[in-house]
């Protein structure tokens, strides 16, 4: 199909006429996507260690749009069949963090939260083979892979770390580069930080990769820790004759923030609404919550879920069953027990306008030690003074 012709002049018409900032940004984004080279660079394969942080410097090249992580670890299971936790294998990573040139965190969320986000961004279970028989052969490992049988196996999975809202090349010109980082600079450094889980196996602990079978043992086989191969996806902009290099100013001045790896365990009681505040002064395009009870993902004990404004006006309310149905319609299937999300991509929640916006979660039964892990997907203008995340009552 022939691509539409785009006028790369800043005003869209080449006559100096006024074009507003949003239209100019869209023209330049389209020009960049049509002329720039979509590239992927293999950065490094590095071996980490449990309870340690792996720090990887990203290359200052092009316009950074996303990273892809390939994680693997040969393991040996002994004595008894190992039972994976409900968050396995992605909880082998306890936190993923991207630090900007100025030292601020653009991304901070758990490996499991990143998996949930990847599923929702692709609108399908991320990394799973859902139709045909999986590709097999030497060196090919099914992803994700969580061995359980006694003996040797390979723990493996993949994750995408998004820098902008949508850099999926299959979406063509529907890609949204809001939040992309102009990395083509000799000043400053970008880093990916990966915090590894503290243990492969802890009986009854959902944060360990394996949490069941009291007599089992799980250790690394011939390696000191998990390895991760990092790929950097970026656009290499091309100069357009007579118009310079098309750089969308709003996209590159925006921060696509993923703020998570946050837990709250206070004020969670039967038939009492637990409130979690949206971040202030952001355009929130997604909210995510995972509910845990007695060290497992809780699937059947919520009365009500809602989004409310200024502690009085309800924007959205539904039962647990209806919430699961809404999510099933988005993903064409279930993502997993105890996982809830609210999508505001078409109409972001402007917390500077709405005021105090909160998630309300009401359980109807609790076994022991409940907690909620939550995350927000937001946009704000780079350089703006914005407060950090907090926990409500």
For the segment 6-26, the average pLDDT, to the nearest whole number, is 60
Q: Give the model's pLDDT for residue 384.
A: 63
Indicate if the pLDDT at residue 137 is higher than 70.
Answer: no
Which residues contact residue 7 at a Cβ distance below 8 angstroms, ignoring those fewer than 6 apart?
A: 13, 14, 27
**Which residues, in sequence order, are CB contacts of 294 under 8 Å at separation 6+?**
367, 368, 369, 370
**Helix or strand or coil: residue 84?**
strand
391 band by pLDDT with thresholds 50, 70 and 90: low
Residue-wise pLDDT for 197-213, tens only, equals 999 999 989 999 999 88
In this predicted model, what pLDDT tens digit does every residue of 151-195 receive, in sequence order?
999 999 999 999 999 998 888 778 999 999 999 887 888 999 999
What is the pLDDT confidence band of residue 387, given thresholds at 50, 70 and 90?
low
Structural element, H or E, at residue 314: strand 313-318
Are the beta carbons of 77 and 201 closer than 8 angstroms? no
| Confidence check: pLDDT of 360 > 60 | yes
Q: Is the pLDDT of residue 139 over 80?
A: no
Domains and CATH numbers, the chain: 43-233 (2.70.9.30), 265-381 (2.60.120.20)
**Taking 90 as the threshold, does the pLDDT of residue 134 lie above it?**
no
220 pLDDT more than 50: yes
SS (H, E, C) 132-164: CCCCCCCCCCCCCECCCCCEEEEEEEEEEEECC
- Cα–Cα distance, 283 to 354 (Å, whole number): 10
pLDDT tens sequence across 327-343? 999 888 888 888 999 99
pLDDT of residue 154: 92
Task: Determine which of 11-20, 166-175, 233-242, 277-286 has the lowest per-residue pLDDT on average.
Answer: 11-20
Name the average pLDDT for the chain.
87
């Amino acid at each position: 199909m022939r691509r539409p012709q785009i006028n790369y002049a800043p005003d869209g018409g080449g006559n100096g006429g006024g074009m507003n900032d949003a239209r100019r940004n869209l023209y330049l984004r389209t020009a960049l996507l049509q002329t720039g080279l979509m590239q992927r660079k293999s950065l490094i394969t590095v071996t980490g260690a449990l309870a340690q942080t792996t720090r990887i410097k990203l290359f200052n090249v092009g316009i950074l749009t996303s990273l892809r992580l390939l994680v693997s670890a040969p393991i040996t299971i002994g004595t008894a069949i190992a039972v994976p936790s409900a968050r396995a294998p992605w909880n082998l990573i306890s936190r993923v963090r991207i630090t900007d040139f100025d030292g601020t965190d653009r991304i901070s969320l758990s490996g499991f939260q990143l998996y949930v986000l990847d599923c929702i961004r692709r609108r399908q279970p991320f990394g799973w083979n859902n139709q045909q028989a999986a590709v097999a052969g030497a060196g090919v490992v099914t992803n994700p892979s969580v061995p359980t049988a006694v003996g040797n196996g390979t723990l493996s999975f993949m994750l995408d770390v998004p820098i902008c809202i949508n850099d999926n090349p299959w979406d063509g010109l529907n890609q949204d580069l809001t939040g992309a980082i102009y990395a083509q600079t000799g000043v400053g450094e970008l880093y990916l930080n990966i915090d590894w889980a503290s243990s492969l196996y802890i009986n009854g602990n959902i944060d360990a990769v394996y949490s069941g079978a009291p007599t089992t043992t799980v250790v690394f086989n011939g390696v000191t820790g998990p390895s991760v191969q990092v790929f950097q996806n970026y656009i290499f902009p091309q100069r357009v004759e007579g118009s310079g290099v098309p750089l969308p100013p709003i996209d590159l001045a925006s921060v696509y923030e993923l703020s998570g790896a946050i837990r709250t365990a206070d004020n969670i009681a039967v038939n009492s609404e637990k409130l979690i505040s949206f971040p202030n002064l952001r355009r929130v395009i997604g909210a995510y919550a995972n509910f845990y009870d007695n060290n497992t993902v809780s699937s059947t004990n919520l009365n009500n879920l809602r989004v409310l404004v200024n502690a009085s006006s309800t924007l959205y309310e539904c039962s647990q069953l209806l919430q699961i149905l809404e999510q099933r319609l988005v993903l064409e299937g279930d993502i997993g027990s105890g996982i809830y999300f609210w999508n505001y991509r078409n109409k972001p929640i402007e917390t500077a306008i709405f005021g105090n916006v909160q998630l309300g979660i009401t359980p109807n039964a609790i076994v022991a030690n409940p907690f909620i892990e939550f995350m927000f997907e937001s946009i704000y203008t780079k350089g703006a003074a914005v407060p950090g995340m907090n926990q409500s009552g």
